[in-house]
Amino acid sequence: MWAWQPALAEAVRRLKAAGIEDAAREGMLLLRAAYAGEGEAPVPFERLYAAPFPPAVAERFHRLAVRRARREPMAYLLGRREFYGLDLAVGPGVLVPRPETESLVEAALAVLPARRLTIVDVGTGSGAVALALAARGPAAWAVTAADVSPRALAVARANARRLGISLAGWYQGDLLPPGWWNAVVANLPYVAERERDQLPPELAWEPPEALFGGEDGLTVIRRLVAALPGTLTVPGWVLLEVAPDQVAAVNRLLAEAGLVPGPPRRDLAGRERVVWAERRT
């Protein structure tokens, strides 16, 4: 028996009792994180079998298991989340990047022309979309990250520095920075307020202003679309992550704003997830 095995068994029991479906996998991941230390990548699995179990690691592992049993997001406990091949730091006060948001990056890479463009990522959070576009898109793209939250922007800036990715600019403020933009990409809050009580308990730890978009989920998106005629160039593009059941409504908003919607882009689960439109006149 390895020295950490009883502690792992106890942690798995605790997580199962808290309703964690994959308790065994998460328990092992937390153990690997406890050996690594705060903010560091979890140690490789195979290293555990030659490792002692010192009191400091045992205490750190216990604290992590207790926090996860309270349904704190795993990304907050690990202090990091992988997004589009980038290792991003995340933490309380910042929305955890989701796999479905990678579809927004994919859509931008597919839809936007590979030439000089000024692009703004509105509601950048941890910087996930802006940094992915800057790292994976054409070198001619000039990407700016914008967010109303100073805390989120601080995390995004730190991620950019650590990853060695340069952005064209940073903007702290409500929605769009002043000026004209060739493209706007945004993962704005779009969860309907009426769905709050139906969501997984982990979401209660994330900033509600980054999740909830009013009664129908479209309050912030409406504001952004209304501002597009005064900030989007001709030609210009907008790409928005939305819930699958919001696609038709958002396409109507874009058409009413004088834009021409394209076919929605699907996420990894095959659901319509990204709406996009072009300003032609």
Residues flagged as binding site for S-adenosyl-L-methionine? 123-127, 147, 170, 187
Q: Which residues are documented as binding site?
A: 123-127, 147, 170, 187
Residue 256: closest CA among 222, 215, 216: 222
Q: Reduced to 3 states, what is the DSSP secondary structure of residue 221?
A: helix
Q: Reduced to 3 states, what is the DSSP secondary structure of residue 191?
A: strand
Query: With the CA atoms of 22, 190, 269 and 198 taken in that order, what torsion angle do they form, in degrees rounded to the nearest 10?
Result: 40
CB atoms < 10 A from the CB of 17, how many?
Answer: 10
Main-chain phi, psi angles of 195, to 5 degrees: -90, 0
Largest separation between any pair of C-alpha atoms in the chain: 71
Ramachandran region of residue 29, left (φ > 0), alpha (ψ -120 to 50) or beta? alpha
- Measure the CA–CA gap between 251 and 257, rounded to whole angstroms: 10
Q: Residue 236 burial (CB < 10 Å; 0-12/13-18/19+)?
A: buried
Beta bridge partners of 272: 266
Half-sphere exposure of 15 (CA within 13 A, CB side): 28
